[in-house]
């Protein structure tokens, strides 16, 4: 099984970091509402007292009452009921309420979704030094949602939040230095920021720091150190870390090779819906590594990833249908899955699709289509695969007219890959 591609992993890490900014602040910033009540009576008494104070205009009580409704503390969880109390507190200048109100507008919880209104409230809280609001405002400038896009302004707000120790912002800055996004690429600086977030226990930063050690970017390659950070995040339930840790056990990098342990971590991530982990788990079942060989179970996991748009899973599922291994042989279904992956640019799927067109399996025999797809596969592959694909293309050409070859070449020139249908997975290569 090949290592997973760094670019895709960073994209996933970055997407996850941004997601926290949208919704995490609502439940993580204020401490009130997390305290356990000793009895229902105390909860009811507290609610009565808080409501009475809030109705008299006590700003702290308004904030508390909003939190009680938003978190379901002593009342039924109800964002529509929470929002007016947050607004009353926010209009009195309570920074926490301003931040939360911005989050509600950002997510459309209890109020109509409104990016401009979210920005307005984020700015009020950010100007008062709320780190989470500064981070969220940075994201809005970064993405151009609710404000004109301005990367420099986004970075400014990220830094203000990061300087207060806000782990999401520290990790976002690390990602910017890592990828060279809006700043000069600097792996050493990326590690420095990732470490700040990671040492606070922030799982996404731990994953990114693990990747840096795994790849040897900004520091000497150190698989054991990569494993250490992956494990910290994996034990918090982070699916990407669980995936990475499974991969390290599969390859015996930084740990003793242990297929059973790899399966355990892949399973954890796969059950959270991580398509790469689902492909990895399917591969382990197909090979009988760490588990009893089970082609039916392999097909089940490949299907889960394939339905998310993962091109490798689509290719593998197509192969299972083509071979009739784990599922009844069905050439038409094989063609359908090969086609989905081939349209995403996977050379292996393009080659297999070309072969079924040449053989007329699941589709009418068509050498123009066969030549086109195998030609595309040869142009995207490398090493022995490239030579084998080119040889197969040339063998098809011997059975075609000059006009047919010209048409196949035209189709190949005009072909463009389609974006995959879901965010997870979709890299080329055999797993």
Helix axes 311-323, 295-306, angle to 10 degrees: 140
Q: What's the CA gap between 267 and 281, in Å, rounded?
A: 7
Tokens at 196, concatenated: 């700040």
Nearest alpha-carbon partner for 290 in 250, 236, 230, 326: 250
**CATH code of 337's domain:** 1.25.40.10
Is residue 381 domain-resident? yes
Average pLDDT per run of 10 along the chain, which is 431 residues long?
Answer: 42 47 37 40 72 96 95 93 97 97 95 96 97 96 94 96 96 94 93 97 96 95 98 97 97 98 98 96 97 97 97 97 95 98 97 98 98 97 96 97 98 88 38 41
Q: What's the CA gap between 202 and 200, in Å, rounded?
A: 6
Q: Which long-range contacts (CB under 8 A, 24 or more apart) does 115-124 make?
A: 115/140, 115/145, 115/146, 116/146, 116/147, 117/146, 118/146, 119/145, 119/146, 119/147, 121/90, 122/98, 124/90, 124/95, 124/98
Is residue 26 domain-resident? no
Q: What's the CA gap between 420 and 425, in Å, rounded?
A: 9
The pLDDT assigned to 12 comes to 47
Is residue 158 domain-resident? no
CA within 13 Å, CB half, 50: 22
The pLDDT assigned to 25 comes to 38
Is residue 422 domain-resident? yes
Q: What's the CA gap between 260 and 291, in Å, rounded?
A: 7
Is residue 361 domain-resident? yes
Domain containing 392: what range? 313-431
Is residue 37 domain-resident? no
Is residue 28 domain-resident? no
Q: What is the pLDDT of residues 246-260, one digit of tens each?
A: 999 999 999 999 999
The pLDDT assigned to 357 comes to 98
Domain count, the chain: 1
The pLDDT assigned to 92 comes to 97
Is residue 404 domain-resident? yes
Helix axes 347-359, 367-380, angle to 10 degrees: 160
Q: What is the pLDDT of residues 340-385, one digit of tens each?
A: 999 999 999 999 999 999 999 999 999 999 999 999 999 999 999 9
Q: What's the CA gap between 214 and 229, in Å, rounded?
A: 10
Nearest alpha-carbon partner for 65 in 32, 41, 35: 32
The pLDDT assigned to 83 comes to 97
* Degrees, nearest 5: CA angle 218-220-222: 115
Q: C-alpha 49: how far from its chain's center?
A: 43
- pTM, to two decimals: 0.83
């Amino acid at each position: 099984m090949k290592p997973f591609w760094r670019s895709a992993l960073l994209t996933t890490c970055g997407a996850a970091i941004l997601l926290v900014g949208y919704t995490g602040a609502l439940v993580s910033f204020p401490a009130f509402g997390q305290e356990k009540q000793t009895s229902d009576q105390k909860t009811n008494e507290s609610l009565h007292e808080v409501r009475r104070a809030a109705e008299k205009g006590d700003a702290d009580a308004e904030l508390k009452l909003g939190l009680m409704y938003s978190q379901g503390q002593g009342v039924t969880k109800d964002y529509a009921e929470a929002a007016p109390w947050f607004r009353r507190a926010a209009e009195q200048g309570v920074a926490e309420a301003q931040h939360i109100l911005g989050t509600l507008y950002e997510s459309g919880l209890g109020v109509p979704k409104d990016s401009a209104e979210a920005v307005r409230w984020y700015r009020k809280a950010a100007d008062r030094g709320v780190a989470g609001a500064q981070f969220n405002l940075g994201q809005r400038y970064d993405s151009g949602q609710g404000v004109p896009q301005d990367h420099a302004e986004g970075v400014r707000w990220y830094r203000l939040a990061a300087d207060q120790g806000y782990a999401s912002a520290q990790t976002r800055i690390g990602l910017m230095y890592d990828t060279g996004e809006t700043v000069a690429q600097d792996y050493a600086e990326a590690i420095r920021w990732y470490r700040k977030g990671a040492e606070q226990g922030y799982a996404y930063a731990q994953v990114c720091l693990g990747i840096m050690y795994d790849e040897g970017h900004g520091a000497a390659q150190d698989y054991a150190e990569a494993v250490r950070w992956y494990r910290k995040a994996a034990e918090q339930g982070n699916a990407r870390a669980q995936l990475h840790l499974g991969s390290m056990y599969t390859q015996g990098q930084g740990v003793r090779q242990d297929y059973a342990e790899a399966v355990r971590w892949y399973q954890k991530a796969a059950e959270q819906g991580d398509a790469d982990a689902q492909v990895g788990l399917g591969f382990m079942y197909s090979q009988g590594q760490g588990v009893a060989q089970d082609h039916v179970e392999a097909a089940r996991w490949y299907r889960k990833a394939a339905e998310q748009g993962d091109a490798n899973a689509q290719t593998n599922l197509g192969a299972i249908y083509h071979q009739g291994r784990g599922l009844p042989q069905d050439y038409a279904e094989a063609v359908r899955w090969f086609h989905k992956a081939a349209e995403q640019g996977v050379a292996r799927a393009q080659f297999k699709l070309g072969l079924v067109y040449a053989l007329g399996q699941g589709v009418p025999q068509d050498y123009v289509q066969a030549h086109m797809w195998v030609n595309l596969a040869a142009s995207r592959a490398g090493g022995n695969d490239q030579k084998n694909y080119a040889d197969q293309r040339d063998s098809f050409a011997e059975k075609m007219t000059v006009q047919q070859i010209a048409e196949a070449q035209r189709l190949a020139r005009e072909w463009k890959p389609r974006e995959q249908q879901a965010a997870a997975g979709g890299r080329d290569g055999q797993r």
